[in-house]
Each structure stands twice: as structure tokens, then as C-alpha cells.
Amino acid sequence: MLERLNPFVGEWELEVSLPSPADVRATAVFEWALDGRFLIQRTEISIPEAPNSIALIGVDPNGVAFTQHYFDSRGVIRVYSMTFDDGVWTLLRDSPDFSDLNFWQRYTGTFSEDGATIAGSWEMSQDEGATWKKDFDLIYRRVA
């Protein structure tokens, strides 16, 4: 099951559609940890308003999807349900975890045919998923 995540492994530059200075630099690195039992994602961004983060991804308890445990430099801890099917990566937070759940979140990203780009957007819902509003675009471009 975890082998399905191999397309993520490597270094990525991120393009983030936040209102911020033009010289923003953001990167992500995905690498295997603990004998390939987990995938770690480390993300850094050069503006103080946006947090650096680390996420640990593993198979969820029922063995059919994944769970992402997210931690960031603000002290935020979140748990996302994660899927990766047919080149589409989804993250969803729709249940209480370690921080307040006053809004739902989801990310949907699609891998390009050559695996060099993941084009996606974060969305949020204030009405338990009845309606969704784009928060920001987040595009990954493979560096190595």
C-alpha cells in the first residue's frame, strides 16, 4: 500500500497563491522513514505569516487509505484523511483532532502525466462541507 506513494518522494519547489512578497521561496521534501513504514513531508516557506511544517503519512487503521499527521511552527497539530488514486492526491480534515475544528479543510492535487507537477488547491468549508470556498492554490514542481 505504501509503495503507491513513491511518486511523492523527492524535492519540490512550491508555488503558493498567497498575497505575499514576490520573493517567496517555498520547498517540500518527501522521504521514507522508519524502514519505509512512513512517508515524511517537510515544508519550508520564507514568509513569517505562513508556517513551516512536517507531516507523517502512514496507512490508516482500515488499510484502504492513508492518514497524515501534520505539525507546524505555530504549534498547530492536525490529522487529515488522505487518498492517492489515479494521480489525484486528496487531504481532508472534517472531524475533531488536536486543534479546534471551526472549519473543514481539503486539498486536491493532480499529478501531471510526467509526475513533475502536482497542481492543486486548498479549500475550506464553514458549514460542514455543504459549500466549499477556495483558500489558496498550491502547486508542487519537482526539483529532484
User: Tens of pLDDT along 61-110?
Assistant: 888 899 999 999 999 999 999 999 999 999 999 987 877 778 999 999 99
Report how many helices (DSSP H) and strands (DSSP E) the chain contains, helices first.
Answer: 0, 10
What domains can you pick out in the chain, each with its CATH number? 2-142 (2.40.128.20)
pLDDT at position 19 is 66
Model pLDDT, residue 102: 85
Task: Output the CA torsion 87→69→20→140 (10° steps).
Answer: -20
- pLDDT score at 98: 78
Mean predicted confidence (pLDDT) in 39-64: 92
Which grid coordinates are listed for 98? 488536536
- Which three three-digit cell numbers place residue 141? 514542481
How many residues would you count in the chain?
Answer: 144
More confident residue, 19 or 36: 36
Q: What is the pLDDT of residue 36?
A: 93
Q: Rounded to an integer, what distance in angstroms lies between the CA atom of residue 57 and that of residue 83?
A: 11
